[in-house]
Structure 1
Amino acid sequence: MLLDSASLYFRAYFGVPDSVRAPDGSPVNAVRGLLDFIARLVQDHRPDDLVACMDADWRPHWRVELIPSYKAHRVAEEVPEGSDIEEVPDTLSPQVPVIEAVLDAVGIARVGVPAYEADDVIGTLTGRATGPVDIVTGDRDLFQLVDDGRGVRVLYPVKGVGTLQPVDEAWLRAKYGVDGPGYADLALLRGDPSDGLPGVPGIGEKTAAKLLAEFGDLAGIMAALSNRMAKISPAQRKRLDEARDYIAVAPKVVRVASDVPLPDFDPALPRTPRDPDAVLALAERWGLGGSLQRLLTALQH
């Protein structure tokens, strides 16, 4: 089981009232919400391995070089020129180190790699997996990794942490008309405002799905532009032709990396805390109470 940690703690932050606070008054709603989420996942799914994948770099320079608008709207205003500081709620940022410290003390593997996003870590771990993989994320970008043949699916939170939508190839075809790899091409063509991806102007989700159904993949669509008999309207031909520069670089930006240099780590689900003293100290310092206890109980069973 691979956790898209930032996606999940963002959801926890907005799903748990900020009145949930530590003894000193600091908000710990994201911390407690995430711990409850992980406890529920362990209890319901009993994974053999569990990895909390982290954004060591939420906006890698190599992606921005290819598409400068990539996540540009998320960069905080009034920051020094050239620096990429993500605009996040000011009461969330201080909770991230607490989340990391708790995961480390409990013994849940936490992996982030400089110059890569959590998505890329997830893509690399998924490619290396020798058995089924559950990816837990609220980010649709990772739908591209769904692969029934390898037992790779996404568990997508629909409501809070208790209701998850299992996303497999049948669900993707019913919803979008594509399979896992096809989802990356679909996203590339239609664009994604939340990631600052412009897409191809005039090519929406339905049109992109029809083109992919007709020509198989992005390469097939672009090859068809030179075939006057291909079923592409004049307007679509013009739009795709004008977007060639974008289409040439976008796949590297949209598709998750599969070759991230990962550090050595132990992904095994811990039964008991790695550092019991640190767990006790963190529980007391941050008032983690029932949330941390629920996670420890879930791990023991």
Structure 2
Amino acid sequence: MAAPLAGAEEGPAWAKADLRAGIIGCDTSHVIAFTKILHAHPAWRVRVAAAFPGGSPDIASSRSRVDGYVKQLRETSGVEIVETIPELLGKVDVVLLESVDGRPHLEQARPVLQAKKPVFIDKPFAASLADAREIVRIAKETGTPFFSCSCVRFQPEIAALRTDAGVGKVTKAQGSSPFSTEPHHPDLFWYGIHGVEALYTVLGPGCVAVSRKAEGDLDITTGRWKDGRVGVFRGVMKGDYKPIVKVWGETGEVETPKGFDYNGLVQVMAEFFQTGRAPIDPEETLEVVAFMTAAQLSKERGGAEVTLEEAWR
């Protein structure tokens, strides 16, 4: 048997088949970054074959970028651009739902799930808790695997804190990230998701109540977990601030390096597409959305604590 070529990437055990991936929504830099990472790892056997541009005319960061990213996908990565989602579904095996606007996610996800195409849904998962719940319902009804998260979820140094933070029993976690909002979405849905996702990566599900307040240039949301642990999201409203996570335990504290990249998420995505096994329980994803919804209600009530049970209603 011939020896493998020097420098060739050895394929992981889960990479069983060559898969064609399709993109829905080309109005975020994620479509370029994710495509480059997938194509840089041919041993994962997932290649972006087609894309539906999408775009939201009433969001400046969408309408100003979609044409440029479409051009880059076509000319740099050889991606076929199609005019409709049904056309896309006829050409691909798996889907990345990337629309930067969460409002169309339900209607964009519906035909994907009904076609039983495994799908990754980028943040924001949806623009409301009601839409998020309906996506999960359709996924269960059709038996189609999906997952949704921020790239923070699979940042190695953050993910490692969930099993062993090195500080004894964890009592508190704090996720800090830049904080910008978008008027068509609840405040934390747009960019605060990065910090909230960090809390759930470390603490897991189980938050029962949330309160939110402003402190100078910070927007602070505090979650109370049912076992007494505390999760704090610090949204940094001014300055060039890189995401960071800090964890307190019974024997000390630890802080992650600032910043993140997409490599961990994209590798997990490729494995998900190959195996059909979602890396995150849909109920935890819904709890993340409920947490952010409760934070919005708390803001509207002047910082009063809001239970997640109420947010669910």
TM score, norm. by length of structure 1 = 0.31
In our comparison, the structure showing a higher alpha carbon Rg is 1
Structure with higher strand content: 2
| Relative contact order, higher structure (CA 8 A, sep 6+) | 1
Superposition TM-score, scaled by structure 2 size: 0.30
Write 1 or 2 for the structure with the bigger share of helix. Answer: 1
